[in-house]
Amino acid sequence: MEKITSAALKKRPLIISGPCSAETEEQVLQTAIQLKKTGLVDVLRAGIWKPRTRPGSFEGIGSIGLPWLQKAREITGLPVAIEVATSRQVEEALSHQIDILWIGARTTVNPFSVQEIADAVKGVNIPVLIKNPIHPDLELWTGALERILKAGIKHVGLIHRGFSSYGNTLYRNAPMWHLAIEMRRRNPDTMMINDPSHICGRRDILPDIAQTAVDLGFDGLMIESHITPDAAWSDAKQQVTPGRLEEMLHQIVWRRENGTNGEFHATLQKLREQIDQLDDELMQILAARMQIADKIGQYKKENNITILQTKRWNDILERALEKSEQLKLSKEFLIKYFDSVHIESIYHQNKIMNDS
Ligand code: PEP
Ligand code: MN
Q: Where are the domains of the chain?
A: 2-251, 262-353
In CATH terms, the superfamily for domain 2-251 is Aldolase class I (3.20.20.70)
Rounded mean pLDDT, 19-30: 98
CA of 52 to the centre of ligand 1 (A): 9
pLDDT of the residue at 296: 87
Q: In whole angstroms, give the CA distance from residue 74 to residue 51.
A: 27
Rounded mean pLDDT, 282-293: 92
CA of 21 to the centre of ligand 2 (A): 7
Q: Which residues pair with 129 in a beta bridge?
A: 102, 157
Task: State the amino acid at position 50 in one-letter form.
Answer: K
What would the CATH number be for the domain defined by 262-353?
A: 1.20.59.10
Q: Is 131's C-beta closer than 6 angstroms to any atom of ligand 1?
A: yes
Nearest CA to ligand 1 atom 3: 20
CA of 133 to the centre of ligand 1 (A): 10
Q: Is 105's C-beta closer than 6 angstroms to any atom of ligand 1?
A: yes
The yes-or-no verdict on residue 311 having pLDDT over 90 is no
The yes-or-no verdict on residue 2 having pLDDT over 80 is no
CA of 318 to the centre of ligand 2 (A): 58
Nearest CA to ligand 1 atom 4: 104
Query: Counting ligands in written order, which one lies closest to the CA of residue 229?
Result: 2
Tell me the per-residue pLDDT of 237-261, one tens digit each, with 9 for 90 and over: 999 999 999 999 999 998 765 556 6
**262-353 matches 2-251 in CATH topology:** no
Query: Counting ligands in written order, which one lies closest to the CA of residue 195?
Result: 1
Q: Which atom of ligand 1 is nearest to the CA of 162?
A: 9
Nearest CA to ligand 1 atom 2: 20
> What residues have CB less than 8 Å from 326, skipping those under 6 apart?
none
Most confident of 1-15, 91-105, 337-351: 91-105
pLDDT of the residue at 356: 63
Q: Is 126's C-beta closer than 6 angstroms to any atom of ligand 1?
A: no
Tell me the per-residue pLDDT of 61-112, one tens digit each, with 9 for 90 and over: 999 999 999 999 999 999 999 999 999 999 999 999 999 999 999 999 999 9
pLDDT of the residue at 310: 80
Residue 332 half-sphere exposure, CB side, CA atoms within 13 Å? 0
The yes-or-no verdict on residue 202 having pLDDT over 60 is yes
Q: Which atom of ligand 1 is nearest to the CA of 47?
A: 3
Query: Counting ligands in written order, which one lies closest to the CA of residue 53?
Result: 1
Q: Is 223's C-beta closer than 6 angstroms to any atom of ligand 1?
A: no
pLDDT of the residue at 262: 75
Rounded mean pLDDT, 179-188: 94
> What residues have CB less than 8 Å from 259, skipping those under 6 apart?
217
As to burial, measured by CB atoms within 10 angstroms (0-12 exposed, 13-18 middle, 19+ buried), residue 175 is buried
Average pLDDT, the chain: 92
Tell me the per-residue pLDDT of 139-174, one tens digit each, with 9 for 90 and over: 999 999 999 999 999 999 999 999 998 777 899 999
Rounded mean pLDDT, 13-34: 98
- In SS3 terms, the chain reads as CCCCHHHHCCCCCEEEEECCECCCHHHHHHHHHHHHHHCCCCEEECECCCCCCCCCCCCCCCHHHHHHHHHHHHHHCCCEEEECCCHHHHHHHHHCCCCEEEECHHHHCCHHHHHHHHHHHCCCCCCEEEECCCCCCHHHHHHHHHHHHHCCCCCEEEEECCECCCCCCCCCCECCHHHHHHHHHHCCCCEEEECHHHHHCCHHHHHHHHHHHHHCCCCEEEEEECCCHHHCCCCHHHCECHHHHHHHHHHCCCCCCCCHHHHHHHHHHHHHHHHHHHHHHHHHHHHHHHHHHHHHHHHHHHHCCCCCCHHHHHHHHHHHHHCHHHHCCCHHHHHHHHHHHHHHHHHHHHHHHHCC
Q: Is 193's C-beta closer than 6 angstroms to any atom of ligand 1?
A: no
